[in-house]
Amino acid sequence: MNPNIEEVLLAEPRGFCAGVDRAIEIVERALAKFGAPIYVRHEIVHNTYVVNELKAKGAIFIEELSDVPTGSTLVFSAHGVSKAVEQEARDRGFSIFDATCPLVTKVHVEVAKLAKEGYEFIMIGHKGHPEVEGTMGQLSSGIHLVEDVADVANASPLQTEKLAVVTQTTLSVDDAAEIAAAVRARFPNVREPKQQDICYATQNRQDAVKIMSPQVDLVIVVGSPTSSNSNRLRELAQRLGTESYMVDSADELKPEWFEGKSRIGLTAGASAPEVLVHEVIERVRAFGAVSVRKMDGIEETIKFPLPKGLKLDDIPPPGHIS
């Protein structure tokens, strides 16, 4: 029990974004319509709890398409896939549902369109992240990854007349701006997206942490270690001078983090479900928190349509006999 903790401040917005909502719903509806197992390439979203819940309902998560039996139903994760993976899945004849977030697809479409016009690309992103692999894999060549400002000096496009910049959707807004400035400085002709590629959910959650951090003594981010946008939230709070930790569940909270702290900020990455936020709140209450206050913030109303074949009208209600 920590008598110092007065209040928990809840960031707004936090947690699930429209792309994550849609991706999870696609797996659930595929399970309802076709029955278990449903194969999912890569974690549908980067959250341990979500993945375990879907596993319990009959989803099987795989990395290699060779692990998917012939005739299966396969879902691509929210991060998107390369053209090669898409082609291999088609060639193997799977029934495919694409849960790629429409905001990632938008980047893929832009890359394909500009590549046809002869553009090469500088991609700002994290090496090895599935979204980066998917976006870079839209082309067989001509897309150069930079992870930080230092990388910009080493990028070696074959020409600089037609060069465009694209970014991973879940980056630190500030880091990406700094790297983009370095790209502009080296390649003054570079074409930038009309609307930035970093998505609304990443931007809004980082903006909320910027407002919250100066008001609290400690920031807790609910998110899995693999979640890019959750990691960025923790780093941002830390960079703003507030001690910060990321936890996958309430069990990972350490009482010593709360010693001498009176105001606790709480947020969640775009793939972290609200149930985990509630569990963290209950645990912090048990540590001694007296009240919980939701901060003012942007209300997100964006919703993405489901793929054809999984919309409500496409699925008979339970008990229906056709």
Residues in contact with ligand SF4 by the rule CB under 6 A: 17-20, 78, 101, 103-104, 169-170, 199, 201-202, 229, 270
CA distance 320 to 322: 6
State which residue, 40 or 284, has the beta carbon closest to ligand SF4: 40
Q: Which residues pair with 123 in a beta bridge?
A: 145, 166
Q: Measured from the CB atom, is 103 or 281 closer to ligand SF4?
A: 103
Q: How far are the Cα atoms of 3, 83, 122, 308 from residue 109, in angstroms, in the given order?
A: 54, 12, 16, 19
CB of 268 to ligand SF4, least distance (A): 12
Is residue 282 part of the annotated active site? The answer reads no
Q: Which of 110, 120, 131, 147 is the catalytic position? A: 131
Q: From the CB of 44, what's the least distance to ligand SF4, in Å?
A: 10
**Rounded to the nearest whole angstrom, what is the least distance from the CB of residue 314 to ligand SF4 in the complex?**
23
Of residues 18 and 75, the one with the C-beta less far from ligand SF4: 18
| Cβ contacts of 319 within 8 Å, gap of 6 or more | none
> 189 near 11, Cβ under 8 Å?
no
Shortest Å distance, C-beta 18 to ligand SF4? 6
Comparing every residue's Cβ against ligand SF4, the nearest one is 19
Handedness of CA 84, 89, 91, 95 (dihedral sign): negative
Closer residue to ligand SF4 (CB): 5 or 24: 24
Whole-number CA gyration radius for the chain: 21
Any idea which residues carry the catalytic annotation? Answer: 131
